[in-house]
Structure 1
Amino acid sequence: MHGFFGELVIILTASAVVLAIFHRFRLPPTLGYLATGLLIGPGALGLIGNREAVQSLAEFGVVFLLFSLGLEFSLSRLLAMRRLVFGLGGAQVLICTLAFMGMGLALGVEPRLALLMAAVLALSSTAVVTRELARAGELYARHGQLGIAVLLFQDLAAVLFLILIPALANEGDGLPMMLAMTLAKGTLLFAFLIGVGKWVLPRVFFEVAKTHSEELFVLAALLVALLAALLTETFGLSMTLGAFIAGMMLGESHFRHRIEIEIRPFRDVLLGIFFVSVGMLLVPADLLDRWPAVLGLTAGMLLFKTTLVAMLGRWLGEDRLTSWRAGLLLAQGGEFAFALLAVAGSYGMVEPAQVAVVAASVVLSMALTPLIVRHNGRIAAFLVRDRNPGPTAPVDLVDVSSITAELSGHVIICGYGRVGQAVGRILSREGVEFAAVDEDPVRVQEALLGGERVFYGDARRPALLHALGITRARLVVVSFTDHRHSLAIVRAVRERAADLPILVRTVDDRHRETLKQAGATAVVPETFEASLTLASHVLALLDFPMERVQQSVQGVREERYSVLRGYFHGQRSRITDVEGQELDVRHAVPLPEKARAVGRRLADLDLAKVGAEVRNVRRDGAGELDPLPGLVLEAGDVVVLFGTASQVENAERRLLGG
């Protein structure tokens, strides 16, 4: 095999091997791709010769990165958090950019390049920070909210920098005029594309969705992203700007979730190739000669950005511990640094040798980020000399033990997806205490905000089972679909509680005997239960004399269906059924200080107009409140919504920004 396709096979093979190793050590995939590029690039094994072709393919990865970011960008959330976003976020980006630019100018770097490198270093990693915060259950903690606010503004700043790069690449004397023209063109295109997204695209995607063709839907989404990118490039702006605006256009529609799911495979693979191409820019031999500069820049960036955000947090009235924790979250460089460098390289602004030290420093800081985020509470407590930092993550076993210490005779639910949540709701209705554990951080965070006793972690861990009170429990329910996962949990439970009943849910009964031999008390196959339901209807239609039994079963089912509908969605949850109809979901919405709903009655918000229902409202110090029409919402309340994905999204916009 020769040429580019042979090199593509090498890239994919090396990426698969390296990512498997990084996954074992729980390191971010981004770093795995960067390490792959460094390994197979010209600075190490030299397996890739046609770097131009790889760069061309990698550009599509940047386009889909910005498209995905636009899908997730929430204008209503931005408005609700505007004080923190524009105050804390704006000050952080402005001061960091000026400080790093001043440093570059002092070292003799030309102004255009100094500004570019300063912008690169001012941004943090949205992908890594949000993932680690979700994994630690700290997305909605105060320091997590401060970090998210700054990241929101950084996303806007990154788009602005992308607009300015073509103007900065102009070597003529009319730079101010060029900057003004570029901003004007960017503003006009933004307004035009937003208009198209509001009035044209929803109708187009509605017609596409009516065909029930997955291929046509995927093609339409890809086409929108690429056409928007082509339009902005035609006007002399960055393709990535068009992709971001296209994502924003579709992010306001109820097709957002499906689009995100459908394009994820394309985005992840192409984005992986992009990071591999960035890794190929790093030459270990050159970096060995410059390692003091790399370490110095990395340390300086971490210390300066942490201290700056902490000081700004204190300026806004936050306490010392929260301010330092937020600063630690944002200390690193981010993936947008590579996007900016790639776009600048396409305009000939930078050479690979010029970006080596900066790129290596960003990579090193991102490698340290998971460790810093996981222990941000302890590090901040040390910095402020606080010997009692409190729990830093819901998977802290001491924290889990303290929360479940009062439980006895409770039920432990392993797996809190749709089935696990249905079991939990029935137990709650009957007054039975339970504790649940799940491995989806998004689902756990949603359930925690909804007031449920759910923990993030691996139920196969003996220490976690002990912390959940396995020796005091009355029953264990295992609701995972993967029989190997369920089998491992059954064995772990049985080693510590020989007589504890274990109920296991499976898809079918193929592994029933294996699970029973491992110690499962009962195995409930879904297909078998479905066949029982169908059989009861068949017998009823055939006039069998079972009216009293059938009426009783039917009455229970009718009563339970309304209770079982809707679930907290996770990273991989489906929001539509096999026919494309939207499923009911539950979604917890925390209210920031500037949210539109704060100070208003539920009746004034008229959420029923968008089809959503308020299931409950949780308030610190007051617990769960009945969602009565006269209830006045306060900052910090968590509103649990119920409805289809689009109804819940519309209701969330009403709560946050109108």
Structure 2
Amino acid sequence: MHQEVTLIATVAVSFVCAAVFGYIADRVRLPPLVGYLIAGIAMGPMTPGFVADAGLASQLAEMGVILLMFGVGLHFSTADLLAVRGVAVPGAIAQIVVATIFGIGLAELWGWSLGAGIVFGLCLSVASTVVLLKALEEHNLLDSASGRVAVGWLIVEDLVMVLALVLLPALAEVLGGHAAEGAAHGTGMPLALTVALTFLKVGAFAVMAIFLGPKVVPWLLTSVARTGSRELFTLTVLAIALGIAFGSAQIFGVSFALGAFFAGVVMSESNLSHRAAADSLPLQNAFSVLFFVSVGMLFDPSILVRQPMAVVAALLLIIFGKAIISFVVVALLRYPIGMGLTVAGGLAQIGEFSFILAGLGVSLGLLPHDGQDVILAAAIISITLNPLVCTGAEALHDYIHHRWAGFYARYGHRRLEVLNRELDKIRAITEARERQHQLEIQELTETFPLFAMVDENSQEELLLLFRPKSALPGERVMRKGDRGDGMYFLSSGAVEVQVAGEPIRLEPGAFFGEMALLTGGRRTADVVAVDFCQFFVLERRDFNMFTAKHPILRQAVSEMARERTEMNVMRQRHSQPSGIAS
């Protein structure tokens, strides 16, 4: 195959195979992620048939990592994490520490180095965001207290893994590996200073992202959103994600993953974060699929024959070891039994971060290739079995509930009540914001029924396009003969359109100034405020752009303008005030 089409072939075959195997996985009630991994195995060098370009797939997978971490940051909720911090923070850290210690123990039995054991244990300690969220959604637990704790637990795991990705290259040589590619060699810098410098760089980047980002990114998103260009907004979202990720790696020396994560966190503070998430989701999903396919391409199925006991040991640690650790921690913290079982079942698998960390471990010479194959095999099998594990946890929950009903009702009840109160406060704040937004939309359509013709997304766009303006009684809002600069929508107060004869009074809900925009001519009347007035002004450029995308709205405005013109003509014929002219 010609080199020019290698990229196209890799992407095309990856998507086709991922779609086919993902569909098959879904039909047999497995997560589609399993299908994507199997598609990668089928395309890899270890299986017969078409072999994709692993180098190109790896680079595309890096895009998947960036967008995946951007999505994690975009949905990162500080409030939710603070609400469940009493169980999520100590629980996640305890699980990571204990699981890593067990991983080191297994590595020692197999004759691996300490560095390999640390990487191996960390890979087995962190769960997949995709799999956990899907499991919670299928069991309607995502908005429950147990679901919030599981998600908070996962966020803490993600943060610890982000830190591990940053520190591992700095510690690689000490742990028996080699420096990262492109890193300086032979600097003689003490380990403590190296770690301190790494933290300093990460801290400097975090401070800049947290304090400077919220001032720049929301302003930039709002400015671009006002253009009304959907593709430009999506492009800006991706430019921010990839730009911050690349810039952070080049300037501060931190990983692409950390840069993308902070890009998402910064963007989550914007009022347009939900739109940014919706617009970036298709590309995020597409490149995430390529990431899983590329991971599958690295997997050597022969590991199941060569080291079956290693795979079984890793699976036991993931499914039973992590589940027991999670449940014990939740129980020791005096939270309900049901919550412990939900967390234990949902986290009994490994995923995205495990793949990223394993790949980094191999590249640094810490983890042997067999170790990566064991991790990939354990990940694929644990993800495949996770629905059964969750079902088993739910069945055990029902059994305990019926067998020891009194103990079940009492244990952890107080802690759960406190947690529910905190979560209810957060839900109330979130719902209040959503209600406020809906009220703004509702008020817009009630005050100006004309805008009921367009969908809610377009109504949101209008709220961004509108320029607020006010006027005092007696102030001239519009002057006859001026060039039409915009269309005015009166939200409160009253104005008079001063035409020949008796002035025409306009009340809230009325609009004026459309004729000059439609005809390209000059203003034909003066408009004066007779009360304290508030307007929404749709400037000429925004008016033309918005009505071009919504011809039905332009037609309605044109029809009203035509009726006004006819009314003015009739009034002139009967020597009446000429009516509304603008």
TM over 0.5: yes
Local SS of the residue matching 2:458: coil
For residues 112-138 of structure 1, the C-alpha deviation after alignment (integer angstroms, 9 at most, x for no partner) is: 222112111110122211222122112
Local SS of the residue matching 1:138: coil
Structure with more relative contact order (C-alpha pairs < 8 Å, separation 6 or more): 2
1:215 and 2:218 matched: no
Q: Residue type of the partner of 2:193?
A: M
Aligned counterparts, 1:352-391, within 5 A: 352-381=369-398, 386-387=402-403
Q: Distance in 1 between matches of 2:377 and 2:120?
A: 13
State the 1:580 CA deviation: 2.1
Q: Please, which of 197, 207, 212 is the counterpart of residue 191 of structure 1?
A: 207
State the 1:236 CA deviation: 2.5
1:59 and 2:76 matched: no
For residues 39-64 of structure 1, the C-alpha deviation after alignment (integer angstroms, 9 at most, x for no partner) is: 12111125225211110111100000
1:129 and 2:146 matched: no
1:84/1:380 CA distance change after superposition, 3 Å? same
Q: Please, which of 218, 231, 238 is the counterpart of residue 247 of structure 2?
A: 231
In structure 2, the partner of 1:6 is 9
For residues 359-410 of structure 1, the C-alpha deviation after alignment (integer angstroms, 9 at most, x for no partner) is: 211221111112222442203455x5954889xxxxxxxxxxxxxxxxxxxx
In structure 2, the partner of 1:273 is 290
Q: Distance in 2 between matches of 1:353 and 1:211?
A: 52
Q: Distance in 1 between matches of 2:260 and 2:337?
A: 39
State the 1:192 CA deviation: 0.8
1:578/1:36 CA distance change after superposition, 3 Å? farther
State the 1:94 CA deviation: 2.6
In structure 1, the partner of 2:216 is 200
Q: Residue type of the partner of 1:291?
A: P
Residues 84 and 149, structure 2, Cα contact 8 Å, conserved in 1: no
In structure 2, the partner of 1:613 is none
State the 1:328 CA deviation: 2.1
Local SS of the residue matching 1:577: helix
Q: Distance in 2 between matches of 1:29 and 1:211?
A: 37
In structure 2, the partner of 1:329 is 346
The percentage of aligned residue pairs carrying the same residue is: 31
In structure 2, the partner of 1:300 is 317
Query: Whose radius of gyration is greater, 1 or 2?
Result: 2
1:25 and 2:53 matched: no
Q: Please, which of 91, 95, 98 is the counterpart of residue 98 of structure 2?
A: 95
In structure 2, the partner of 1:580 is 461
1:161/1:47 CA distance change after superposition, 3 Å? same
Which ranges of structure 1 fall in alignment gaps of 5 or more residues?
A: 391-445, 451-556, 563-573, 584-658
Residues 58 and 277, structure 1, Cα contact 8 Å, conserved in 2: yes
Aligned counterparts, 1:597-636, within 5 A: none
Q: Distance in 1 between matches of 2:236 and 2:192?
A: 39
More helix by share: 2
In structure 2, the partner of 1:177 is 193
In structure 1, the partner of 2:532 is none
Aligned counterparts, 1:145-544, within 5 A: 145-170=148-173, 171=178, 174-234=190-250, 235-347=252-364, 349-350=366-367, 352-381=369-398, 386-387=402-403
Residues 124 and 334, structure 1, Cα contact 8 Å, conserved in 2: yes
Q: Distance in 2 between matches of 1:285 and 1:389?
A: 48
State the 1:351 CA deviation: 5.1
Q: Distance in 1 between matches of 2:289 and 2:310?
A: 27
1:327/1:273 CA distance change after superposition, 3 Å? same
Local SS of the residue matching 2:376: helix
1:118 and 2:150 matched: no
Q: Distance in 2 between matches of 1:353 and 1:105?
A: 15
For residues 421-444 of structure 1, the C-alpha deviation after alignment (integer angstroms, 9 at most, x for no partner) is: xxxxxxxxxxxxxxxxxxxxxxxx
Residues 25 and 35, structure 2, Cα contact 8 Å, conserved in 1: yes
Local SS of the residue matching 1:202: helix
Aligned counterparts, 1:74-93, within 5 A: 74-93=77-96
Q: Distance in 2 between matches of 1:578 and 1:374?
A: 43
Which segment is superposed worse, 270-279 or 127-136? 127-136
State the 1:195 CA deviation: 1.9
RMSD: 3.0
Which ranges of structure 2 fall in alignment gaps of 5 or more residues?
A: 179-185, 407-426, 432-441, 448-454, 465-582
For residues 253-309 of structure 1, the C-alpha deviation after alignment (integer angstroms, 9 at most, x for no partner) is: 111111111111111111111111110111122322222221222023211111111
Q: Distance in 1 between matches of 2:339 and 2:19?
A: 39
Q: Distance in 1 between matches of 2:22 and 2:318?
A: 27
Q: Distance in 2 between matches of 1:263 and 1:140?
A: 24
